[in-house]
């Protein structure tokens, strides 16, 4: 079985066609560079409405069977930014390290990273991660910051494959030139 990844762009203006959605294309571009194993995607472009975000996350995890869901947008402090509330509402468990690490990374890029309330959670067989809405923030948070070969701050995607192993999702390999997945030596690829 290959990994199924849900991609959710949460933006009032992009969902109304006021501007072009750059969230889903940025996610698709980055994942196609970073992931070395076969994967499929399901995409959704929706408004910043808490009930709609919750319903979309439930559908992607419970009905579509996604193992990983990445959201972009709606994590700031404005009244309509409700992505973290919706994500927490559908969570079985919270994974605080993802939000902490994203803010660490993003502070190397912009001081306003402190305004981002993104969370990571587990629902059933799936890891759900909120990324900020700025399209450039997608690569920054997933890939981290490097100085040549040297990793200055590891991107959150480095920890995603092993997290997926632990929740029973299919094996995922990354391309090391983009992001090096960290797994303990004890991690065993099924069938290997």
Ligand X SMILES: Nc1nc2c(c(=O)[nH]1)N[C@H]1C(S)=C(S)[C@@H](COP(=O)(O)O)O[C@H]1N2
As a whole number of Å, the CA-based R_g of the chain is 16
For ligand X, which stretch binds (CB under 6 A), given 26-34, 130-138, 156-164, 171-179?
A: 130-138
Q: Are 21 and 9 in contact (CB under 8 A)?
A: yes
42 binds, among ligand X, ligand ATP, none (CB under 5 to 8 A by kind): none
* 115 contacts ligand X (rule: CB under 6 A): yes
* 132 contacts ligand X (rule: CB under 6 A): yes
Strands, DSSP E only, in the chain? 3-10, 39-46, 68-72, 93-94, 120-123, 126-131, 144-147, 150-154
List, as one string, the DSSP characters of 98-118. Answer: HHHHHHHHHHTT-GGGGG---
CB atoms within 10 A of CB 61: 24
For ligand X, which stretch binds (CB under 6 A), given 14-22, 53-61, 71-79, 175-183?
A: 71-79
Any idea how long the chain is?
Answer: 192
Residue 133 is classified by DSSP as S
Chain residue whose CB lies nearest ligand ATP: 133
Q: Is 166 exposed, middle or buried (0-12, 13-18, 19+ CB in 10 A)?
A: exposed
* 116 contacts ligand X (rule: CB under 6 A): yes
Residue closer to ligand X by CB (options 43, 125) is: 43
113 binds, among ligand ATP, ligand X, none (CB under 5 to 8 A by kind): ligand X
Chain residue whose CB lies nearest ligand X: 133
Q: Are 18 and 81 in contact (CB under 8 A)?
A: no
**Total residues at the site for ligand X (CB under 6 A)?**
19
109 binds, among ligand X, ligand ATP, none (CB under 5 to 8 A by kind): ligand X
Binding site for ligand ATP (CB under 6 A): 9, 11-14, 19, 21-23, 48, 73-74, 76, 78, 80-81, 133-135
Which stretches of the chain bind ligand X, using CB under 6 A?
73-76, 81, 106, 109-110, 112-113, 115-116, 132-134, 136-137, 140-141
């Amino acid at each position: 079985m290959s990994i199924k990844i849900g991609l959710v762009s949460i933006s009032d203006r992009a969902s109304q066609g006021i501007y072009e959605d750059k969230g889903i294309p940025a996610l698709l571009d980055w994942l196609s560079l970073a992931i070395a194993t076969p994967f499929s995607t399901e995409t959704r472009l929706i408004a910043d409405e808490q009930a709609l975000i919750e319903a979309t996350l439930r559908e992607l995890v419970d009905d579509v069977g996604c193992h990983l869901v990445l959201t972009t947008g709606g994590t700031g402090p404005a009244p309509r930014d409700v992505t973290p509330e919706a994500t927490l509402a559908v969570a079985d468990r919270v994974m605080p390290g993802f939000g902490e690490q994203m803010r660490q990374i993003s502070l190397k890029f912009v001081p306003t990273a402190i305004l981002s309330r993104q969370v990571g959670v587990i629902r059933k067989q799936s890891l759900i991660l909120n990324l900020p809405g700025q399209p450039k923030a997608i690569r920054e948070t997933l890939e981290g910051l490097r100085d040549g070969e040297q990793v200055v701050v590891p991107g959150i995607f480095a920890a995603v494959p092993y997290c997926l192993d632990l929740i029973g999702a299919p094996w995922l390999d990354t391309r090391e030139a983009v992001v090096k997945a960290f797994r303990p030596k004890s991690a065993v690829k099924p069938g290997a």
